Chains A and B, each alone.
Chain A
């Protein structure tokens, strides 16, 4: 059991300890997370579920280092990130986390290749290296022949693959997906899940927030939140 003051074991990628997050909504304090303790090991494939208002978005933002907890500890890949400042968090997001969003969030005027290059720009990589790594990431998700296409020239599934390539391009510790199939039809969703499965097989740690049971079924472990607390945490057969 983890105690305050400890250091996580080396193969623990994500460790949250009594994580809370409260929002001040005009005088009324909303406690979105009320003490979440969670450990995720390297190469786990975890789905986070829960009804709306359960705190899964809040947890997702904390795991993604977009937000800082009100109290508790959060360790990511051996680094305590719960008390880092803005710029340090930006660096962690850049190096350790690959985001995949429900709405893809691609830059509409930029080519697929340039979209994938974005994280590398903020990592300070040179132009040549950026191109090469972005191209490799696009090939990994099967879009090697669509590099110069703009998002509006791509199908929804292809857009999400571009977003996945962008998430992978910095070799992050975790792939963090927020309803990755929320805007896709079931065939395309299955496609994307196949990509995730393959990435998982290659050793990628994946945390996926979803409210769909059949999407969560692709994960090896399902964490369910309710009222800002973990209600269940189950391993399931692949």
Chain B
């Protein structure tokens, strides 16, 4: 019997026995759906991390000089205490670095603290107040939806002007224009000169709840002691230039802090790689757990299919005897039942793919997780589903193929 005939027969059997087939493909269905669903989350977050977060939010070819690394999974207390003893980054460090770079870079100061921003009787609480220098917008890829960013002149003079994040503008001004209005930050009045485009959220954290003011404006006292920076941001034009600038920054900082060759750096140079390493640590856990879940449901699916196929062989013993008496060889019968088992599993896997994709869209729409379907997971899901069917079908099919036609025909 040609393979095509076997497949046609298998699909026909599935069609005529919808309910039974439905149950038998449930295991594979769940396995494949969960595979695709979970994979989509990991994939989505991965892509988010590498493309959007690392590239856009952190900045391409950008590094940050900080007292300690920004993203730090599972740091022991001792390390944490050592970090807390490190000296802070000072304005003078930033100036020395600016003077010392020999590669073309753009740089910005940054210090942040949560603050309340108010307009008349309206308040926006827990807003990230960032005191930064003018190139901050460029490095962070923040585009203005309205108005303008502050200038170098305004930054140097410490002008009381502010650029709002989208959520802050929405909260305080609803749909009126915030431009040239006066908001209060801490004790000072600030004139709104711009609103940044909506950034959305990452992993459930809103990215639009911020305001940016010039680093030397009155609110600088709210974020850090005088002369202190959270971070010094450096953006180069290419990856190698960024590496070079990092080397230079390290050298300059080490000499400024009088570190001897054997001493470790007492500052951190963070890149988007650091963020990605942090995420990689988390996703590695998922990557270990995920196949376990999928494996379990596929094994269960396989056992269910094997059972169903053993039942089918028992039920259709007479049919097998008949087919043999009409000239079916062992391999014909084997192929028929293998095809049926594989077809059940593949149909289950196909439904699983559809459900998994649906699940992905549901997750993406209803949760903060940026899920996105990976084509590899679809392929893998279908191949694994069909594979489970074939493996689960081998034993029942070989039993069917070995049946003695005389005994099989006599069976009631």
A122 and B406 contacting across the interface, CB-CB below 8 Å:
no
Q: A86-B330, A87-B330 are in contact. Are A66 and B5 (CB under 8 A)?
A: no
For chain B, residues 319 to 336, give those with C-beta under 8 angstroms from any C-beta of chain A.
319, 322-332
For B, the interface residue count at a CB cutoff of 8 angstroms equals 21
A118 and B325 contacting across the interface, CB-CB below 8 Å:
no
Q: Contact check: which of A61, A101, A123 meets B327 at CB < 8 Å? A: A123
B326 and A166 contacting across the interface, CB-CB below 8 Å:
yes
B322 and A105 contacting across the interface, CB-CB below 8 Å:
yes
A94 and B326 contacting across the interface, CB-CB below 8 Å:
yes
Residues of B within 8 A of A119 (CB): 326-327
For chain A, residues 16 to 69, give those with C-beta under 8 angstroms from any C-beta of chain B.
61, 64, 66-67
- Residue on A nearest B4 in the bound complex, by CB: A127
- State how many angstroms separate the Cβ of B33 from the closest Cβ of chain A: 30
B319 and A107 contacting across the interface, CB-CB below 8 Å:
yes
Question: Within 8 Å of chain B (Cβ to Cβ): is A140?
Answer: no
Q: Contact check: which of A64, A67, A122 meets B328 at CB < 8 Å? A: A122
- State how many angstroms separate the Cβ of B12 from the closest Cβ of chain A: 8
CA distance A99 to B2 in the complex (A): 23
CA distance A99 to B5 in the complex (A): 22
CA distance A121 to B336 in the complex (A): 12
CA distance A67 to B410 in the complex (A): 14
- Residue on B nearest A118 in the bound complex, by CB: B326
A interface majority secondary structure: helix
Q: A105-B318, A105-B322 are in contact. Are A122 and B329 (CB under 8 A)?
A: yes
Question: Within 8 Å of chain A (Cβ to Cβ): is B16?
Answer: yes
- State how many angstroms separate the Cβ of B309 from the closest Cβ of chain A: 18
For A, the interface residue count at a CB cutoff of 8 angstroms equals 24
- Residue on A nearest B405 in the bound complex, by CB: A66
A118 and B323 contacting across the interface, CB-CB below 8 Å:
yes
Residues of B within 8 A of A105 (CB): 318, 322, 409
Interface string of A143-187 (1 = CB under 8 A from B): 000000000000000000000001000100000000000000000
Residues of A within 8 A of B329 (CB): 86-87, 90-91, 122
A90 and B328 contacting across the interface, CB-CB below 8 Å:
yes
- State how many angstroms separate the Cβ of B15 from the closest Cβ of chain A: 10
Question: Within 8 Å of chain B (Cβ to Cβ): is A124?
Answer: yes
For chain B, residues 249 to 286, give those with C-beta under 8 angstroms from any C-beta of chain A.
none
- State how many angstroms separate the Cβ of B55 from the closest Cβ of chain A: 56
CA distance A236 to B289 in the complex (A): 81
Interface string of A104-123 (1 = CB under 8 A from B): 01010100000000110111
Question: Within 8 Å of chain B (Cβ to Cβ): is A226?
Answer: no
CA distance A107 to B330 in the complex (A): 19
A64 and B16 contacting across the interface, CB-CB below 8 Å:
no
- State how many angstroms separate the Cβ of B331 from the closest Cβ of chain A: 8
B327 and A66 contacting across the interface, CB-CB below 8 Å:
no
Question: Within 8 Å of chain A (Cβ to Cβ): is B1?
Answer: yes
Question: Within 8 Å of chain B (Cβ to Cβ): is A93?
Answer: yes
B interface majority secondary structure: helix
- Residue on A nearest B316 in the bound complex, by CB: A107
CA distance A123 to B319 in the complex (A): 18
Residues of A within 8 A of B325 (CB): 64, 66, 93, 99
Q: Contact check: which of B2, B16, B332, B406 meets A61 at CB < 8 Å? A: B406
Residues of A within 8 A of B406 (CB): 61, 66-67
Question: Within 8 Å of chain B (Cβ to Cβ): is A131?
Answer: no
Q: A121-B5, A122-B332 are in contact. Are A93 and B409 (CB under 8 A)?
A: no
CA distance A66 to B325 in the complex (A): 7
Residues of B within 8 A of A91 (CB): 327, 329
Residues of A within 8 A of B1 (CB): 121-122
CA distance A90 to B324 in the complex (A): 7
Residues of A within 8 A of B331 (CB): 87
A94 and B330 contacting across the interface, CB-CB below 8 Å:
no
CA distance A64 to B325 in the complex (A): 8
Question: Within 8 Å of chain B (Cβ to Cβ): is A95?
Answer: yes
CA distance A121 to B335 in the complex (A): 13
Residues of A within 8 A of B323 (CB): 118, 122
**Given contact pairs A66-B405, A87-B331, A90-B324, a sample of 8 additional A-B residue pairs in the complex whose CB atoms are under 8 Å apart:** A87-B329, A91-B329, A93-B324, A93-B326, A105-B318, A118-B323, A122-B328, A166-B326
B318 and A94 contacting across the interface, CB-CB below 8 Å:
no
CA distance A86 to B318 in the complex (A): 18
Among A64, A119, A122: residue with most chain B CB under 10 A? A122
CA distance A3 to B97 in the complex (A): 111
Can you pick out 29 interface pairs between chain A and chain B where the beta carbons lie within 8 Å of each other? A64-B325, A66-B409, A67-B406, A86-B330, A87-B329, A90-B324, A90-B327, A90-B328, A90-B329, A90-B332, A91-B327, A91-B329, A93-B325, A94-B327, A95-B327, A99-B326, A101-B409, A105-B318, A105-B322, A118-B323, A118-B326, A119-B326, A121-B5, A122-B326, A122-B327, A122-B328, A122-B332, A124-B2, A170-B327
CA distance A137 to B364 in the complex (A): 60
CA distance A124 to B2 in the complex (A): 7
- Residue on A nearest B401 in the bound complex, by CB: A86
Among B2, B324, B327: residue with most chain A CB under 10 A? B327
Residues of A within 8 A of B326 (CB): 93-94, 99, 118-119, 122, 166
CA distance A67 to B405 in the complex (A): 9
When A and B form their complex, which 5 residue pairs have the shortest distance between CB atoms, in order from nearest?
A94-B327, A122-B327, A90-B329, A119-B326, A105-B322
- State how many angstroms separate the Cβ of A69 from the closest Cβ of chain B: 14
Residues of B within 8 A of A90 (CB): 324, 327-330, 332
CA distance A101 to B318 in the complex (A): 12
For chain B, residues 96 to 147, give those with C-beta under 8 angstroms from any C-beta of chain A.
none
CA distance A119 to B332 in the complex (A): 12
CA distance A61 to B326 in the complex (A): 13
Residues of B within 8 A of A123 (CB): 327
Residues of A within 8 A of B327 (CB): 90-91, 93-95, 119, 122-123, 170
Residues of B within 8 A of A94 (CB): 326-327
